[in-house]
Chain A
Amino acid sequence: MLSAGWRGGGYLVLLPVTLGVCLLNGSVDTLGLLLAPEQRDLAWQLIGELRLPRVMAAALAGAALGLAGLLLQTLARNPLADPSIIGINQGAALAVVGLLLALPAASPQWFPLAGLAGGVAGGLLLWRLSRGTSGLALILMGIGLNSLLSALTGCLLILADARQLAMVMTWLAGSFAGLEAEQAWATLAWAALLLPLGWLLCQRLTPFLLDALSGRMLEPCMARWESAGLLLACGLGAVAVATAGTLGFVGLLAPHLARLLHPPRPGRLALPTMAYGATLTLLADWLGRSLFAPVQLPAGLMLALLGVPVFVALLCWQQRLKGR
């Protein structure tokens, strides 16, 4: 059994190791190149130009999704909330696909803005609808709204021509393949703005651990923090969607993993959650590109394949714990 301190700091080791593996391992054995002196320059070039943007984008998108999940779970007082469940991801996807179809010439730099608009619209719609209901209603309504939004996205896809279709399909499945370096830098810029803001906000959200009345007694302007947190969560989710399409389950799993090992205060959970989100996404991307080597599987697909069993096991385990 590891001591509490060790488990609490585990993410500090886990994230750099994953980053290293993802940077060095791939279709070309970069480590071998690095060790051979005459090919060292080639290896550095490979890492800097090909791997670095992709790995950076994956880590940042994962961190953003994890933090968005933590914010939503705290604000909704509901451990099942997640950007992909409450309609942020699907709304952003619909907006971006719509943009692609309406203006085929639009450059990828506009994706984040379109995604942000769609994500905020989807998230706020659901938040308004579920106001005054219990926590589970939010999730059920999210399931309903998501199926409508994905039906609409699907219809837009049917209307798209074949050339656009391939591009949009990969993007929708949540993939980092074919990510442009420019896009990675845009993600970095957005993340550098939003991630610290999210971390700061989490320090303020402690009263949301309590029930609504007790919480409001400690922090009378809770409504303001709620709107701020919701907007920020939408923004974080949309940044991730604009980078890599719809990645599910990171926002759901990362806070749960963090909660297993850390005290439940959002201020303390923020950093580990970001680290776990980044690690999960990096692992999914790495598995997706190396499992069926010439075929690149989208990271979002790997996340769904791995995330559902893990999450179901987690839910069963917690139910069992509660029953005991």
Chain B
Amino acid sequence: MPDHAIAAERLSAGYRGRRLLHEISLDVPAGRITVLLGANGSGKSTLLKTLAGLHPAQGGEVRLGGEPLAAVTGRRLARRLAFLPQQPSAPETLTVGQLVMMGRYPYRRLLLPPSPDDHRAVAEAMAQTQVAALADRPLGRLSGGQRQRAWLAMVLAQQAEILMLDEPTSYLDLSHQYELLNLLRRLNQDRRMTLMIVLHDLNQAFEFADHLVYLREGRLVAEGAPAETADPALIERVFGLACEIRPHPRVDCPLLIPLAGEANCARVREVKA
């Protein structure tokens, strides 16, 4: 098995008349957590969707394991790659158990009841995300955090080796954000899953990612481990944000301190002058 799970080569994508991604070449390491970073509209979500085959590529190639993505069709793709969109939706009356069982769809046979394998995968996914107690509760009666965990259980039940999440933390409060990220890291360690996550919070990215990918206006600016790429000049180029990088006092990772308040900006300007 190659050491990269997904690779893009000179990948371009976009909508008619407007190109959003420009010739991106990228290796996503297998069994690691890769986080995509970039300002709003930099093409993070489009890159993720294109890598998942949800958005057509205009040029270049995506390779899944060793083979071209285009050659991996139908259920074979769904068994190898799972994707959780930014705003997933399902009927409010669907129960958590039914939702998670839908993740077994690529394995189910027409008209047959769920196999023991299906039940086992569902139970395991619900146990890992701690939603087993909510199995009979309809989605409409879940809190935001519970709902996100239920959806995560659904994509886990898919038992794919690659899991992509598009801004999974954006509608959660801070403690639920960290709960979810810890859960993702545990999954990564237990199951050796390859995770690709779009995140907005740079400090969360530094702490949880093994590999960072920086995008700006649809182009790849830099990629690498957090410790190598946490550089104020790079952050300013990608986000247009002045900042300072310090070592994290507790964890072995960089810590970013934004210098965006008016007072700080003035001081930065003074120092630069």
Contacts and interface: CB of A to CB of B under 8 A. Distances in A.
Interface residues of B, number: 32
Interface of B: 49, 52-54, 73-75, 77-78, 81-85, 87-91, 93-95, 98, 102-103, 105-106, 110-111, 154-155, 158
Interface stretch (A44-52, A58-66, A216-224, A286-294): A216-224
Contact of B88 (A211, A219, A264): A211
A210 B77 contact: no
A42 interface: no
B77 A220 contact: yes
A263 B139 CA distance: 12
Contacts of A200: 110
12 contacts: A206-B105, A207-B102, A209-B102, A211-B85, A213-B85, A214-B84, A214-B88, A217-B52, A218-B158, A220-B74, A263-B93, A264-B91
Nearest to B160: A217
B149 to A, nearest CB: 15
A221 B76 CA distance: 12
Most chain B CB inside 10 Å of its own CB: which residue of A217, A218, A221, A259? A217
A220 B111 contact: no
B143 to A, nearest CB: 16
Given A210-B89, A211-B89, A217 B78 contact: yes
Interface residues of A, number: 20
B91 A218 contact: no
Nearest to B73: A220
Nearest to A212: B85
Contacts of B105: 206-207, 218-219
Given A203-B110, A209-B94, A221-B74, 12 more contacts: A203-B111, A210-B90, A211-B88, A211-B89, A213-B54, A213-B85, A214-B85, A217-B81, A217-B82, A218-B103, A218-B106, A218-B158
Given A203-B110, A220-B78, A213 B98 contact: no
B253 to A, nearest CB: 31
Nearest to A268: B98
Contact of A213 (B73, B88, B95, B154): B88
B111 A210 contact: no
A221 B49 CA distance: 16
A117 B49 CA distance: 38
Contact of B87 (A204, A211, A264): A211
B194 to A, nearest CB: 15
Given A206-B102, A214-B84, A220 B53 contact: yes
A92 to B, nearest CB: 30
B98 A263 contact: yes
A40 interface: no
A69 B158 CA distance: 30
Contacts of A211: 85, 87-90
4 closest residue pairs by CB, A with B = A213-B85, A211-B89, A217-B83, A264-B91
B111 A213 contact: no
